[in-house]
Amino acid sequence: MSPRRQPSPGLLAALVCGVGLLITALLVGHLERSGATADRARFAAECKRLESAAARHFRLLESAVRGPGALWAAKAGVVTRAEFEAFVKDHDLVKELPGALGLGFVRRVPRAGLDEFLDATRADEAPEFKVKTQGDADELFVVEFIEPA
């Protein structure tokens, strides 16, 4: 029987290094997969949170638009500047419309009826009311009321 030969130190070092690299590669692959899964889960949760916040904000905007619509319906479409101001003051815009600086009303005015509209608006506590327009569109969309002014 021949004596058992010891592996050379260089071969042993290379074997240990190779096994270490293999284990490292396997661990890195596992961590990347689990990290990507966690990232996808965080991304999905953030998307859901943002979607919910946007839906909530749009519901607030919808209710803000419906409120003045009810005022116009109750007043048969004729609302004075003082009534609109009182309507806005009765609401907590900071709570009802976070981020909004005010509430306004835009009226569609036929260009042919602009002078009549201006006369009526100026008679309603807005003697300096002006409309700036460019072009020659048949209809204008004029910010008639805005509160707070």
What CA–CA distance (Å, rounded) separates 144 from 72? 13
- Quick one: CA torsion of 9, 10, 16, 22, rounded to 10 degrees? -170
Q: How does pLDDT run across 61-113, given as a tens digit for each residue?
A: 787 778 788 888 888 878 899 999 988 888 887 777 777 888 888 899 999 99
Per-residue confidence at 56, pLDDT binned at 50, 70, 90? confident
Neighbours of 55 (CB within 10 A): 10
Contact 148, 92 (CB under 8 A): no
- Give the whole-number percent of the chain exceeding pLDDT 90: 32
CA dihedral (79, 85, 86, 90) positive or negative: positive
Single pTM value for the model: 0.58
What's the confidence (pLDDT) of residue 114? 94
Angle between helices 81-89 and 9-74 (to 10 degrees): 140
Angle at 21 between CA 18 and CA 26, to 5 degrees: 125
